[in-house]
């Protein structure tokens, strides 16, 4: 719940700069009060990467380390993502990496010593979506990958079920008009793999995750 000093405006769009570009948006996002998540985070974490990237990756929200660094995917999930990109032969320079929600949502651990990830709710996802849609318009990539349910649902709607579309390229109806509509492949979030306690299940899930990146690599090579 927002505290009395934590005022919100209801939408990231209320904080857009007059002149829209990736750097001006990234700067404006630092002052975003679209939802209450800015009140308890250290940094806003805007997307990063090439403006002409052929592949845009959308995660859920920054984690503890991303919040401290102000950069996306620099913690444990980021390391797994980097390993997987490398294994699939995808150059990091061909990728733009961002998140559905730009501030870290967390709750204190039972001992109060650590900040534990807390899933963003629909209000927060919707409030933050305007940043993501502008990134999509400006980068306009031919390929789009969503990591996990939050990213997929932010772009494809609440009823999207990843299990029904595994390893599939979709032609999504995005909530934004792009001159050439991208293909979208929805995959799982790397943190879901890191959390699996059973080694055999984790190895199998990693294989499926890598398969998605290999499919994307093949598509990138055919562009
Ligand atoms: N998880 C995400 O979804 N995004 C990040 O930037 C880091 C972890
Ligand atoms: Fe703004 Fe998004 Fe941060 Fe909410 S999470 S304050 S909408 S940047």
12 Cβ closer than 6 Å to some ligand 2 atom: yes
Closest ligand 1 atom to residue 100 Cα is: 3
Q: Considering every ligand atom, which ligand is closest to the CA of 14? A: 2
From first to last of the 223 residues of the chain, give the pLDDT tens digit. 555 679 999 999 999 999 999 999 999 999 999 999 999 999 999 999 999 999 999 999 999 999 999 999 999 999 999 999 999 999 887 899 999 999 999 999 999 999 999 999 999 999 999 999 999 999 999 999 999 999 999 999 999 999 999 999 999 999 998 988 899 999 999 999 999 999 999 999 999 999 999 999 999 999 9
Specify the pTM: 0.96
Q: So what's the pLDDT on residue 80? A: 97
Residue 128 is assigned to a structural domain of this protein: yes
Lookup: tokens for 176: 């934004």
CA 79 to chain centre: 15
**CA of residue 168 to ligand 2 center, whole Å:** 30
Residue 16 is assigned to a structural domain of this protein: yes
Q: So what's the pLDDT on residue 5? A: 78
Residue 73 is assigned to a structural domain of this protein: yes
Q: What is the CATH number of the domain that holds 190?
A: 3.40.470.10
- What is the residue range of 143's domain? 12-222
- Find out whether 60 and 150 touch, Cβ atoms under 8 Å: yes
The DSSP line for the chain is ---TT----S-GGGG--SS--HHHHHHHHTT--SSGGGGG-S-----EE-TT-SEEEEES---HHHHHHTSSS-SHHHHHHHHHHHHHT--GGGEEEEESS-S--EEE-TTSSSEEE----HHHHHHHHHHHHHHHHHH--SEEEEESHHHHHHHH-TT--GGGSTT-EE----SS--SSPPEEEEE--HHHHHT---HHHHHHHHHHHHHHHHHHHHHHHT-
| Max Cα-Cα span within the chain | 53
What residues contact residue 136 under an 8 Å CB cut-off, 6+ apart?
56, 144, 174, 176, 178
Residue 153 is assigned to a structural domain of this protein: yes
145 Cβ closer than 6 Å to some ligand 2 atom: no
Mutate to test the pocket of ligand 1, among 48, 75, 124, 186 (most ligand atoms within 8 A of CB): 75
Residue 1 is assigned to a structural domain of this protein: no
**CA of residue 13 to ligand 2 center, whole Å:** 10
Residue among 144, 150, 147, 148 at smallest CA distance from 176: 144
Residue 2 is assigned to a structural domain of this protein: no
Q: So what's the pLDDT on residue 1? A: 53
Q: So what's the pLDDT on residue 3? A: 53
**Total domains, the chain:** 1
Closest ligand 1 atom to residue 77 Cα is: 8
Q: Considering every ligand atom, which ligand is closest to the CA of 148? A: 1
- Find out whether 180 and 139 touch, Cβ atoms under 8 Å: no
Going by CA atoms, what residue is nearest to atom 2 of ligand 2?
Answer: 128
**CA of residue 187 to ligand 2 center, whole Å:** 24
Dihedral (Cα; 124, 141, 26, 69), 10-degree rounding: 80
Residue 6 is assigned to a structural domain of this protein: no
Q: So what's the pLDDT on residue 94? A: 82
Q: So what's the pLDDT on residue 93? A: 78
Residue 195 is assigned to a structural domain of this protein: yes
């Amino acid at each position: 719940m927002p505290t009395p000093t934590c005022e919100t405006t209801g939408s990231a769009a209320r904080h857009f700069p007059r002149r829209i570009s990736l750097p001006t948006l990234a700067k404006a996002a630092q002052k975003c009060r679209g939802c209450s998540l800015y009140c308890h985070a250290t940094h806003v974490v805007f997307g990063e990467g090439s403006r002409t990237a052929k592949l845009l990756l959308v995660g859920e929200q920054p984690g503890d380390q991303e919040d401290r660094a102000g950069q996306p995917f620099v913690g444990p999930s980021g390391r797994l993502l980097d390993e997987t990109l490398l294994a699939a032969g995808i150059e990091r320079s061909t990728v733009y990496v961002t998140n559905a929600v730009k501030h870290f949502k967390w709750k204190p651990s039972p001992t109060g010593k650590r900040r534990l990830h807390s899933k963003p709710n629909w209000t927060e996802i919707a409030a933050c979506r305007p940043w993501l849609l502008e990134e999509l318009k400006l980068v306009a990539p031919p390929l789009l990958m969503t990591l996990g349910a939050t990213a997929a649902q932010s772009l494809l709607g609440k009823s999207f079920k990843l299990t029904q579309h595994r390893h599939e390229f979709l032609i999504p109806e995005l909530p934004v008009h792009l001159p050439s509509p991208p293909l979208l492949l929805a995959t799982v979030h790397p943190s879901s793999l890191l959390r699996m306690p059973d080694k055999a299940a984790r190895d199998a899930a990693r294989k499926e995750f890598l398969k998605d990146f290999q499919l994307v690599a093949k598509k990138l090579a055919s562009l």
